Structure 1
Amino acid sequence: MRVLVTGHHGYLGSVLTPLLTAAGHEVAGLDTDLYADRLLGPPPAEVPTTRMDVRDVGPEQCAGFDAVVHLAALCNDPLGNLDPDLTVEINHGATLRLARAARAAGVPRFVFASSCSLYGAGQQDTPLTDAGRFAPLTDAGRFAPLTDAGRFAPLTEDAGFAPLTVYGETKVAAERDLLALAGDDFSPVFARNATAYGFSPRLRTDLVVNDLVAHALLTGEVRLLSDGTAWRPLVHAEDIGQAMLALLEAPREVVHGRAYNVGTTGENHLIRDVATMVAEVVDGSRVTFAAGAGTDARDYRVDCGRIAAEVPAFRPRWTLRKGIEELVEAYRRHGLTLPDVRDRYQRLARIRELRAAGRLGPGLRWIG
C-alpha cells in the first residue's frame, strides 16, 4: 500500500514509519516538524515528506494513497491544557478536516491514533474490592503488596467514556465524528493506545515509564509525581507500531468502524509497582515521592482481548521489564543527561522554548 503517516517525525511516528517500510509499504510523511530535531541517537531512515500543519491538509495531499495513519496531535494532558481551545482545534477539528480530505481523495482506510485516556477515571465497569489499596511503603523502600486485583474490572471497548482532560475529550469527539464519515468508500478504525513507553529516536521523557527510568539512572531516585496508587495500562511504542500495521492490513470487514484497546491485558500496572520494577532494574536507585504527590484521578485498567481475537496478526512483543531494560541501555548508550530529560525531550518545554525564541506563534504555527 501507499501509506501517508501524519506526525511521522514524532515519538510514535519515528518508530512506526520504519516498521511500515520494512513490511513492504510505500510510506510518505506529513509533519509540521515541531520535534523533528529532538533526536537521541541516529534518526530513522527518511521517507518522502510534506512539511505542513495538519490543519491545512486538503485532498491534494491525500491523493494517490491507499491509507492514512493519523498520529499528529497535541499529544498529552499538560500540552493539551496549555490552550484547550487550540487542543480542540488540532486534535478534533484538524482530524476531521484530514478525514474529509482523505475521503474526498478516495483513500479507503483511515487508522486513527486514539487513546485509552478517553476512559478517564475508569469507573464504568463492575467495582472490585478496594481492601488494601493504599498499602504504604515498607521500611526497605518497597511497596507492601495489595490484597486485591485492582479497584475496577478492566474496561472493554464497550465501556462508557469519562475523560478527565481536554485531550481525552478530543479523542472521544474525534472517534464519534470519524465514525459518522464511515461508508462503503471510507473505513476508519480506532487504535485506543494504552500509555506508551519505550525508546524512540525522537524520545519523549514526559511519559511515565520513560521519565521514571531516566531519573533512576541519572539521580538515583525513582521519583513519583503521584502517590502511585492509580492503575494504568502500558504498551511499548514498537507494539503500538505493530498494532497500527496490523490494523492497516486487516480485512475491511473485520475492522471497519471498530475500536481496539492497544496493548496486553496483563500489562495493566499500578504506577507504584512500575516504580518498584524500575528500582529493581536500575541498581542503586530507590523510590521517592515528589513534593505534594497526591492521588492521580486517571485510574483505569483495560481489556485488550478484542484486538487479540479479531486482529491475530498483532502479537505484542514487549513486557514492561524488558522495556525498562531497553531504556536503561539506550539512555546510557546515547548519553542522556538530566537537562535533556527536563527540557529537550519534554513536549511542553519544547513548545515554550519555540515561543520564547519567537519562532512559534500563539496558534502553534511557525513564524517566518
Structure 2
Amino acid sequence: MRVLVTGHEGYLGSVLVPRLVAAGHEVVGLDVGLFADCLIGPAPVEVPAIRTDLRDVTADQLRDARIEAVVHLAAICNDPIGNLNPDLTYEVNHRSTLRLARAAKEAGATRFLFSSSCSLYGKGEDDAPLDETAGFNPVTPYGESKYLSEQGLLELADDDFSPTFLRNATAYGFSPRLRGDLVVNDLVGHALHTGQVRLQSDGTAWRPLVHADDIAAAFEALLSVDRTRIHAKAYNIGRTSENYLIRDVANLVRDLVGGTVTFAEGAGTDLRNYRVTCDLVAAEVPEFAPQWTVAKGIEQLVEAYRRHGLALEDLMGARHQRLKHINALTAAGRLDGELRWVAA
C-alpha cells in the first residue's frame, strides 16, 4: 500500500520506515524535523515527505500524495515534555490526531493505525494484568491524550474507514534516532559508563516493556491483514511475559552489564503502575510474532553503545534526551512556545 507514516524521523519511525519499505510498501513521511538531526550512526532510508506540521495537514495534501493508509506515530512523545504545556499536549496528541484522521478519511484512506499507549491504563487498581477491556486511569496529559484520541477515532469508524489502536508497552532498544530518556536505554547507559544502575524511582512500579523492533513489526503485521479483522479494535502491543517491576529491570541490567543498583536523590513511587496482557493480539493477529525480550534488548544496547562510541554525556545530552533537545532549540530561538519553527 501507499502508507503515510507521521513522525517518520522519530525514535520509532526511524525503525518502522525501513521495515515497511523492505516489505514493499510505498512510504510517504510527515514530519517537521524536530529530531531529524538526532542521529547515531547512518541515517535510515529516506522516503518522500510532507513537510507540514501535524496541526496543519490537509485532506488535499493526503489526496495529492495518494495515501491509502496512515500509521500515526507523531506526538509529544513523553511525560516530561507533555507536562511542560498540557494544553499543547492535547492540541498535538488529541485534537491534531482527529484532524489528521478526518483529512485521511476525506482523502480516501481506508485504514488508520494509531500509535496509542498502555499509559492510558495509568494507575492499575491491583497487580492483575489488564486486557483491552480494562478501564482507563491515566495519570499524565500524555496518557489522557491517547485515551481521548481513541474515543474520537472510534466515532469516525465506518464501512469505509477503519481505525485500529496499537497500545504500545513502554519502548526500549536501539534506533538510529535513539532516545536516552527511556528507562531501559537509560539504565544500560549508566551501567556501562558509571558502574551504577541508577533508578529515578523506587522501582516498585510494574511496567510492560516492548522493543522498538517489535512495535515496528506489529504495525507491519496489522497493515498486512484484512482490515475487517482489526476494524475499530485496540491491541496491547508486546508480550504478556514481558511485564516487569522496574527494580527487576535494574537487577537484570546489573547482572548483564555489571555495576550496582542505586537510586537518584528523592526517588519516589511512580504513579504509573500497571501490567498488561497481550494475549488478544497474539490470538487475533498471529502474523505478529514478537522477537525480543528485555535481556536480549540489553545486550543489543550494550553492543550498539560500544560500536558507536556513545559516551554518557551523549546519551544524557540534547541529542538523545527529547526534553533537553526541545529546550535547546527553544533557547536558541529556533522554536517558539508552541513548538513551531521560528522563521529565519
TM-score range, shorter chain: over 0.9
Structure 2 residue 185 is the aligned partner of structure 1 residue 215: no
By how many angstroms is 1:43 displaced? 0.9
Q: Does 2:304 align with 1:302?
A: no
Partner of 1:47: 47
Could you tell me which amino acid in structure 2 is paired with residue 120 of structure 1?
G
Question: In the TM superposition, what whole-angstrom CA distance separates every residue of 1:40-87 from its partner, at most 9, and x where no partner exists?
Answer: 111111011122211110012222111000000000100100100100
Quote the residue 2:7 is aligned against. 7
Report the Cα offset of residue 122 of structure 1: 1.3
- Highest CA radius of gyration, 1 or 2? 1
Structure 1 residue 249, shift from structure 2 partner: 1.5
- Partner residue of 1:228? 203
Q: After the TM superposition, which residues 136-155 of structure 1 pair with which residues of structure 2 at under 5 Å, given as runs?
A: 152-155=127-130
String of CA shifts for 1:251-292, please: whole Å, max 9, x gaps: 122100000000000000010010011011113x11111111
Amino acid at match of 1:163: P
Aligned to 1:282: 257
Is residue 2:72 matched to residue 1:70?
yes
1:116 pairs with 90, 115, 118, which one?
118
The answer to whether 1:318 aligns with 2:295 is no
What is the 5 A alignment of 1:349-360? 349-360=324-335
Three-state SS of the structure 2 residue aligned to 1:300 is coil
Range moving further from structure 2, 302-311 or 249-258? 249-258
**Considering only aligned residues, what root-mean-square deviation do their CA atoms show, in Å?**
0.7
Matching of residue 186 in structure 1 with residue 152 in structure 2: no
Which residue, out of 255, 261, 264, partners 2:239? 264
Question: What do the CA deviations read for 1:86-135 (whole angstroms, capped 9, x no partner)?
Answer: 00100001101100000000000100000000000011xxx4xxxxxxxx
In the aligned structure 2, how far is the partner of 1:88 from the partner of 1:62? 23
Q: 1:247 aligned to 2:222? A: yes
Shift of 1:359: 0.2
Q: Which residue pairs with 1:332 in the alignment? A: 306
Helix, strand or coil at the partner of 1:288:
strand
Give aligned pairs, total: 340
Rounded Cα–Cα distance in structure 2 between residues aligned with 1:299 and 1:250: 32
Deviation at 1:218, TM superposition (A): 1.1
**1:203 and 2:178 are equivalent in the alignment:** yes
Amino acid at match of 1:100: R
Which residue of structure 2 lines up, in the alignment, with residue 143 of structure 1? none
> Partners of 2:44 and 2:228 in 1: how far apart?
33
Segments of structure 2 that go 5 or more residues without pairing to the other structure are: none
CA distance in 1: counterparts of 2:3 and 2:227, whole angstroms: 16
2:84 pairs with 82, 86, 106, which one? Answer: 82
Q: Write out per-residue CA displacement over residues 300-344 of structure 1, whole angstroms, 9 at most, x where no aligned residue.
A: 100000000000100000011000000000001111112212222
Question: What is the distance in 1 between the residues matched to 2:272 and 2:16?
Answer: 27
TM-score relative to the length of structure 2: 0.98
Could you list the runs of 4 or more consecutive aligned residues of structure 1 that deviate by over 4 angstroms after TM superposition? none
Q: In the TM superposition, what is the alpha-carbon distance from 1:364 to its structure 2 partner?
A: 0.3
Letter paired with 1:293: A
The residue type equivalent to 1:111 in the other structure is L
- Match status 1:159 vs 2:134: yes
Measure the CA separation in 2 of the matches of 1:46 and 1:77. 29
Name the amino acid aligned to 1:348: L
What is the TM-score with the length of structure 1 in the denominator? 0.91
Tell me the residue number matched to 1:140. Answer: none
- In structure 2, the residue corresponding to 1:74 is in which secondary structure? coil
Find the residue that maps to 1:266 and give its secondary structure: coil
